[in-house]
Each structure stands twice: as C-alpha cells, then as structure tokens.
Amino acid sequence: MRWVYFNKLYRTKFQAGCLAKRLEHDGWTYGFDEMRVIEIFRSRRGKYGVRFIP
C-alpha cells in the first residue's frame, strides 16, 4: 500500500477537508472505485494537503 498525494497544498485545513470530501464522493473521476483511507496532512511549512490509499 502506498500513499497517493493530491498535487496541491492549501492554506487552511477547511479547504483541504473540502477536497477530501470531494474525493470521497467523486473518486471514480480520478480512476479509483474505492479509496481505503483519505487523510489530511500538514506539511513542514504549515500548509495542508490530502493523501489517500487507493
């Protein structure tokens, strides 16, 4: 299992959370039928991102 990182970082956790919810509902758009884990992470510089395990 490997993490797949979405390519954009956001300034707020709320923005990253909105993307995470969108990925949950629209995962088929990105070619994944079911994502096991979707997680919001914080980078070293303080921005937030989304990663998931397909």
pLDDT score recorded for residue 25: 78
Element (H, E) at 48: strand 48-53
Q: Across the chain, what does the average pLDDT equal?
A: 86
pTM (2 d.p.): 0.77
Mark out the alpha helices in 1-54 (DSSP H runs): 13-25
The mean pLDDT of 32-40, rounded to a whole number, is: 79
Which residue has tokens 């992470």?
A: 41
The band of 50, judged by pLDDT with boundaries at 50, 70 and 90, is very high
Number of Cβ within 10 Å of residue 20's Cβ equals 20
pLDDT digits (tens, 9 = 90+) for 18-31: 999 888 877 666 66
Judged against a pLDDT cut of 70, whether residue 16 lies above it is answered with yes
